[in-house]
Amino acid sequence: MTLRVGVIGTGAIGRDHIRRMTQVLKGAAVVAVTDVNAAQAQQVANEFNLQAAVYDNGLDLIRAQEVDAVMVTSWGATHEEFVLASIAAGKPVFCEKPLAVTAEGCKRIVEAEAAFGKMLVQVGYMRRYDRGYRVLKETIDSGVIGHPLILHCAHRNVSVPDFYTRDMSVVDTFIHELDVHRWLLDDDYVSVQVVRPRRSSLSGEHLNDPLLVYMETAKGVRINGEIFVNCKYGYDIQCQVVGETGIVSLPEPMSVTMRSEAKLSNALLTDWKDRFIEAYDIELQDWIDATLRGEMNGPSAWDGYSAAVAADACLAARDSGDIVRIDMPERPSFYRSKHSESA
Ligand code: NAD
Ligand code: NAI
Ligand code: ISE
C-alpha cells in the first residue's frame, strides 16, 4: 500500500522532506504540492519528477480526493489553519514544528482532535528519533547516573535569515529543546527565567542574541540553556545531564579527526539538514508506516501544545525579567494512550 501525501510548503524543509519521501523512504508518494510561491511549488514538482497536482492553496490540497495524508511544512504562523483543516477533513497530518506559534493556537488543535475522537496529528520533533538523544535517554532511564539533577544545553545556529524575528529564537529554535527535554527527563516544566547577556554585535539589532534560559521541572531538575542563533562557527547542539553518580552527554556527530598543518581538528556541521539527517529519515518512515496501519506513533498534538505553553512562558520571562510560573494543564485521558508518548 502507498500513502498518498500532499505537501503544503515547498521551502527548505518541505523540499527536503519531498526528496526523502521520493528518493529515500518507502511507502509514500507525493501526489500534491502547494506553496504561496506557486512557481517554487512547480519547480520542486519538476525537480523530483513528481506525478503531482500543484494546488493554488493549502485548503484545496487538504480537501483533494487523491490526498490520504497531509504534510505541513509552510511557515510556522500558517500551521494552525492547515492542521485544523486536516482534522476537519479526517486526514492524518504531519506538521513541522511548531504546531502553532502560540499555546492558544495549539489548544484549539488539541480540542479539535479530541472532539474528532482519533489521533491524527504528529509534530516534527525529530530529535526524539535521533540516535544520540535515544542513547542519552536509554542511559538516563537505566538509572546508571542516578536521578538527573541538572541539564546543560545549547542550541547554536551559524546565522539566521533577515525575516527571523525576536520571538523565533524561542518559538522556532529553542522549541526543539522545550520538546526534547520533557521527553528525555520524563518530566514537565514549572518555571522559567530568561537572562539577556551582552548582545553579539554580529546579530541583528532587533534580536536578543544570545539568550540564557533557566528552567525548573516538576521533579526539581534545573535546566541551564543557551540560545545563540548567530554563533558564526557552526551548527552546534549540546546536551549534558548531570546525575547523582555520573554525567552523560549527547554524542557529537561523527567527524574525521584530522592532523594537518600543525593542527589536530574535527570539522563541525553548519546546516540543520545535515545534523539531523538520519533522524528526519527515521521520523518520516515511522510516520508513513504508522499512518498506513491507521496509527499515530510520534510526538502528538499534546506534545506540541506542551512545548508551546513553555515557549509562551519563556517569552513572558524574557520580556519581564521575572521568574515565570509554567502551569501545564493536566494531560487529558485522550492523550494518555500508548501512542501519545512513544517516540
Ligand atoms: P521555508 O521558508 O524555507 O519554507 C516555508 C515555505 O512555506 C515557503 O516556501 C513558503 O512560501 C511556504 N508557505 C508559507 N505560507 C504558506 C501557505 N500559506 N501555503 C503554502 N505555502 C506557504 O522554511 P523552512 O525552513 O522550510 O521551515 C518550514 C517549517 O519547517 C517551519 O515551521 C520550521 O519551523 C520547520 N522546520 C523544522 C526544522 C526541524 O529541524 N524540524 C528545520 C527547519 C524548518
Ligand atoms: P522556508 O521559508 O524555507 O519554507 C516555508 C515555505 O512555506 C515557503 O516556501 C513559503 O512560501 C511556504 N508557505 C508559507 N506560507 C504558506 C501557505 N500559507 N501556504 C503554502 N505555503 C506557504 O522555511 P523552512 O525552513 O522550510 O521551515 C518551514 C517549517 O519547517 C517551519 O515551521 C520550521 O519551523 C520548520 N522546520 C523544521 C525543522 C526541523 O528541524 N524539524 C528545520 C527547519 C524548519
Ligand atoms: C529551524 O526552523 C529548525 O528547526 C532548526 O532545527 C533550528 O536549529 C533553527 O534555529 C530553526 O530556525
Evaluated on CA atoms 13, 5, 341, 112, the torsion sign reads positive
| Structural domain contains residue 308 | no
pLDDT band at 338 (very low <50, low <70, confident <90, very high): very low
| Domain end position, chosen among 248, 270, 292 | 270
Pair (254, 296) in one structural domain: no
| Structural domain contains residue 316 | no
Pair (108, 220) in one structural domain: no
Pair (65, 18) in one structural domain: yes
Mean pLDDT for 264-273 is 96
Contact 164, 229 (CB under 8 A): yes
Mean pLDDT for 54-77 is 98
Pair (152, 174) in one structural domain: yes
Ligand 3 proximity of 230 Cβ (cutoff 6 Å): no
Instruction: Write the pLDDT tens digit of every residue in 139-195.
Output: 999 999 999 999 999 999 999 999 999 999 999 999 999 999 999 999 999 999 999
Q: Is pLDDT of 339 > 50? A: no
Contact 160, 210 (CB under 8 A): no
pLDDT of residue 21: 98
Find the CATH number of the domain harbouring 48: 3.40.50.720
Pair (121, 142) in one structural domain: no
Distance 10 CA to ligand 1 centre (A): 7
Distance 220 CA to ligand 1 centre (A): 36
Q: How many domains does the chain have?
A: 2
Given the CA of residue 173, which atom of ligand 3 is nearest to it? 10
Contact 150, 241 (CB under 8 A): yes
Distance 152 CA to ligand 3 centre (A): 19
Instruction: Write the pLDDT tens digit of every residue in 206-264.
Output: 999 999 999 999 999 999 999 999 999 999 999 999 999 999 999 999 999 999 999 99
| Domain end position, chosen among 218, 250, 270 | 270
Residue with cell 510516520: 287
Domain carrying residue 81: 3-126+278-300+331-336
* Distance, CA of 150 to CA of 79 (rounded, Å): 33
Q: Which residues line ligand 2 (CB under 6 A)?
A: 8-14, 34-37, 40, 58, 73-76, 78, 96-97, 124, 126, 172, 272, 276
Instruction: Write the pLDDT tens digit of every residue in 107-152.
Output: 999 999 999 999 999 999 999 999 999 999 999 999 999 999 999 9
| Structural domain contains residue 326 | no
| Structural domain contains residue 63 | yes
pLDDT band at 341 (very low <50, low <70, confident <90, very high): very low
Pair (296, 243) in one structural domain: no
- Residue to probe by mutation, ligand 1, list 80, 96, 237, 272, most atoms within 8 Å of CB: 96
Find the CATH number of the domain harbouring 238: 3.30.360.10
Q: Name which residue sits closest to atom 41 of ligand 2, judged by CA.
A: 124
Pair (183, 225) in one structural domain: yes
Ligand 3 proximity of 272 Cβ (cutoff 6 Å): yes
Ligand 3 proximity of 228 Cβ (cutoff 6 Å): no
**Grid cell for residue 155:** 542550541
Pair (106, 52) in one structural domain: yes
Pair (85, 59) in one structural domain: yes
pLDDT of residue 265: 97
Long-range contacts of 51-58 (CB under 8 A, 24+ apart): 55/6, 58/8, 58/34, 58/82, 58/85
| Structural domain contains residue 305 | no
Q: Name which residue sits closest to atom 4 of ligand 2, judged by CA.
A: 11
| Structural domain contains residue 307 | no
Instruction: Give 143's DSSP letter.
Output: T
Ligand 3 proximity of 122 Cβ (cutoff 6 Å): no
| Structural domain contains residue 309 | no
Instruction: Write the pLDDT tens digit of every residue in 281-333.
Output: 999 999 999 999 999 989 999 999 999 999 999 999 999 999 999 998 889 99
Contact 209, 200 (CB under 8 A): yes
pLDDT of residue 318: 98
Distance 255 CA to ligand 2 centre (A): 29
Ligand 3 proximity of 96 Cβ (cutoff 6 Å): no
One-letter amino acid of 319: D
| Domain end position, chosen among 270, 289, 313 | 270
Contact 106, 308 (CB under 8 A): yes
Given the CA of residue 175, which atom of ligand 1 is nearest to it? 34
pLDDT of residue 291: 98
* Distance, CA of 153 to CA of 224 (rounded, Å): 6
95-116 as b/e: b if 16+ CB within 10 A: bbbbbbbbbebbbbbbebbbee
pLDDT of residue 200: 97
Listed in sequence order, the residues at least 6 apart from 5 whose beta carbon sits closer than 8 Å to its beta carbon are 21, 28, 29, 30, 31, 32, 67, 68, 69, 70, 71
Pair (181, 266) in one structural domain: yes
Tell me how many degrees the CA angle 86-89-93 measures, rounded to the nearest 5: 30
- Residue to probe by mutation, ligand 2, list 42, 56, 70, 74, most atoms within 8 Å of CB: 74
| Structural domain contains residue 341 | no
Ligand 3 proximity of 173 Cβ (cutoff 6 Å): yes
Distance 169 CA to ligand 3 centre (A): 9
Pair (18, 71) in one structural domain: yes
Q: Is pLDDT of 37 > 60? A: yes
pLDDT of residue 336: 81
Pair (288, 171) in one structural domain: no
